[in-house]
Structure 1
Amino acid sequence: MLVCQILKSKAPEVVSVTPSQTMVEVLRLFRENNIGFVVVSRFPGDCMGTLSERDCCNAVAEHGTKAPLMRVAEIMNRGVATCSTQDLLPSVMAIMTERRTRHVLVVDGRTIVGVVSIGDLVKHRLEELMTNEQVLYDYIAGTGYH
């Protein structure tokens, strides 16, 4: 399965924040949108970095009670993991494993077209496995043929 197929089943919007926002503002955004990852940008289409729930936890562990009021620019991840719309699911899984990240930005050239999360990959892989299981069951049972 290609990344572009996964994106078709998702909302196309990529949530972004500015580098001057505080961590607590971003955490509120996470809660309001039921997300755990944002792109950090100065203007639409720009990508200075990303911020995830894990990055926020790491900031609290490192900076303590000062972390919630720190600016996103101070705690964001600058090493952004990316893939293309034509990458296969196992390739993106390898990126996540190698980079130890749960989110990968999907780019088409230099344009961000979406985000793929580990949850998206698990969902689609599970659907593939269930379909394969049903095909095998129908084959063994001799059903499903016309």
Structure 2
Amino acid sequence: MTIARILAEKGRNVSTIQPHRTIAEVLQILAVQNIGAVVVTDSEGGVLGILSERDIVRALGRDGASALDDAASKYMTAKVITTLESECVSIAMEKMTTRRFRHLPVVKDGKLAGLVSIGDLVKFRLAEMEQQHEALKEYIATA
């Protein structure tokens, strides 16, 4: 299965911000939308970075409350690992597990096309395993 299938089910809506927005503004978005990360994009939808809850916690731990007034670009992860819609779910999971991050932007033609979380991938894999389990039970019952 591919990332495209997950996006087809969950949707392609991604919360984005511009790099000059403050950490306080990012926190507001995260809280209101109940999400764990935002993608920092340019005006054409190109991915500049990603800013997660972990990035913000590190910023606050390092710079204190003054970090809330700083630009998102100061604390974002700029070397973003991305995926393509055609990538297999298992490869995307491996990337996220070995590199220890929970959000993976999906790009198409150099533009942001979606976002998958480790939770999305695990949910998909569990559903896939359940289908395989049911198919096996049916096979055994009819054999």
What is the TM-score of this pair, normalised by structure 1?
Answer: 0.91
The Cα shift of 1:4 comes to 0.5
Partner of 1:8: 8
Extract unaligned runs of 5+ from structure 1: none
Instruction: List structure 1 segments (4+ residues) > 4 angstroms apart after TM superposition.
Output: none
Three-state SS of the structure 1 residue aligned to 2:107 is: strand
Aligned residues of 2:44 and 2:111 also touching (Cα < 8 A): no
Deviation per CA, 1:112-145, whole angstroms, max 9, x where unpaired? 11011101101100000111111111222228xx
Partner of 1:32: 32
Partner of 1:65: 65
Deviation per CA, 1:38-88, whole angstroms, max 9, x where unpaired? 111231413221111111111112112222222111111101011111100
Extract unaligned runs of 5+ from structure 2: none
CA distance in 1, matches of 2:111, 2:47: 9
The Cα shift of 1:3 comes to 0.6
Deviation per CA, 1:14-56, whole angstroms, max 9, x where unpaired? 2111112111211110111121111112314132211111111
Three-state SS of the structure 2 residue aligned to 1:64 is: helix
Aligned residues of 2:49 and 2:77 also touching (Cα < 8 A): yes
Distance change >3 Å, CA 107–CA 46, structure 1 → 2? closer
Partner of 1:79: 79
Return the letter of the residue paired with 2:27.
L
What is the TM-score of this pair, normalised by structure 2?
Answer: 0.93
* Alignment size in residue pairs: 143
Partner of 1:89: 89
More moved, 45-54 vs 116-125: 45-54
Return the letter of the residue paired with 2:83.
C
Return the letter of the residue paired with 1:104.
L
Three-state SS of the structure 2 residue aligned to 1:84 is: coil
Three-state SS of the structure 1 residue aligned to 2:67 is: helix
CA distance in 2, matches of 1:108, 1:19: 21
More moved, 8-17 vs 37-46: 37-46
